[in-house]
Amino acid sequence: MTKPTHVYVARLSCGCVVGICSDYRDKFTGQSVSEFIADGCTVDRVTWDDYKNKVSVEPGFMDCQHGQLALPM
Protein backbone atom coordinates (compact mmCIF):
# COMPACT_ATOMS: atom_id res chain seq x y z
CA MET A 1 0.00 0.00 0.00
CA THR A 2 1.32 3.43 -0.87
CA LYS A 3 1.64 6.23 1.62
CA PRO A 4 -1.46 8.47 1.60
CA THR A 5 -1.03 12.07 0.50
CA HIS A 6 -4.31 13.35 1.98
CA VAL A 7 -6.38 12.99 5.15
CA TYR A 8 -10.12 13.39 5.68
CA VAL A 9 -10.89 15.45 8.79
CA ALA A 10 -14.29 15.24 10.54
CA ARG A 11 -15.38 18.31 12.50
CA LEU A 12 -18.31 18.96 14.81
CA SER A 13 -20.42 22.08 14.38
CA CYS A 14 -18.23 23.81 16.99
CA GLY A 15 -15.18 23.27 14.74
CA CYS A 16 -13.36 20.69 16.86
CA VAL A 17 -11.78 17.72 15.08
CA VAL A 18 -13.35 14.45 16.23
CA GLY A 19 -12.28 12.01 13.53
CA ILE A 20 -9.62 11.46 10.90
CA CYS A 21 -9.11 9.02 8.07
CA SER A 22 -6.12 8.66 5.76
CA ASP A 23 -7.12 8.69 2.11
CA TYR A 24 -6.14 5.31 0.70
CA ARG A 25 -8.73 5.63 -2.08
CA ASP A 26 -10.42 2.39 -1.11
CA LYS A 27 -13.84 1.31 0.13
CA PHE A 28 -12.78 1.61 3.78
CA THR A 29 -11.92 5.28 3.29
CA GLY A 30 -15.32 5.84 1.70
CA GLN A 31 -17.07 4.04 4.54
CA SER A 32 -15.29 6.15 7.15
CA VAL A 33 -16.14 9.40 5.39
CA SER A 34 -19.80 8.39 5.01
CA GLU A 35 -19.94 7.52 8.73
CA PHE A 36 -18.53 10.95 9.60
CA ILE A 37 -21.24 12.58 7.52
CA ALA A 38 -23.97 10.34 9.00
CA ASP A 39 -22.81 11.40 12.47
CA GLY A 40 -23.43 15.03 11.52
CA CYS A 41 -19.83 16.10 10.96
CA THR A 42 -18.47 18.27 8.21
CA VAL A 43 -15.60 16.62 6.37
CA ASP A 44 -12.59 18.30 4.81
CA ARG A 45 -9.86 16.72 2.71
CA VAL A 46 -6.45 18.19 3.52
CA THR A 47 -2.92 17.37 2.49
CA TRP A 48 -0.88 15.18 4.81
CA ASP A 49 1.47 18.11 5.51
CA ASP A 50 -1.43 20.44 6.41
CA TYR A 51 -2.83 17.76 8.69
CA LYS A 52 0.51 17.22 10.40
CA ASN A 53 1.46 20.91 10.72
CA LYS A 54 -1.92 22.60 11.23
CA VAL A 55 -4.85 20.33 12.03
CA SER A 56 -3.23 17.95 14.52
CA VAL A 57 -2.03 20.83 16.69
CA GLU A 58 -5.39 22.68 16.89
CA PRO A 59 -6.95 23.19 20.32
CA GLY A 60 -9.70 20.61 20.68
CA PHE A 61 -8.03 18.09 18.40
CA MET A 62 -9.72 14.75 19.18
CA ASP A 63 -10.85 16.22 22.53
CA CYS A 64 -13.66 18.74 22.01
CA GLN A 65 -13.37 21.63 24.42
CA HIS A 66 -17.11 22.23 24.11
CA GLY A 67 -18.15 18.99 25.81
CA GLN A 68 -18.87 16.92 22.73
CA LEU A 69 -17.31 13.49 22.38
CA ALA A 70 -14.90 12.34 19.71
CA LEU A 71 -16.12 9.65 17.34
CA PRO A 72 -15.07 6.06 18.05
CA MET A 73 -12.11 4.90 15.99
Give the mean pLDDT of the chain. 89
Residue 71: per-residue pLDDT: 53
How far is residue 18's CA from residue 72's CA, in Å, rounded to a whole number? 9
This prediction's pTM? 0.85
Q: Where are the beta strands (DSSP E) in the chain?
A: 6-11, 17-22, 42-47
pLDDT per residue as tens digits for the range 18-50: 999 999 999 999 999 999 999 999 999 999 999
Q: Are the CB atoms for 56 and 12 separated by under 8 Å? A: no
- Domain residue limits, the chain: 6-57
Q: What is the mean pLDDT of residues 64-70?
A: 69
Share of residues in the chain with pLDDT > 70 (%): 90
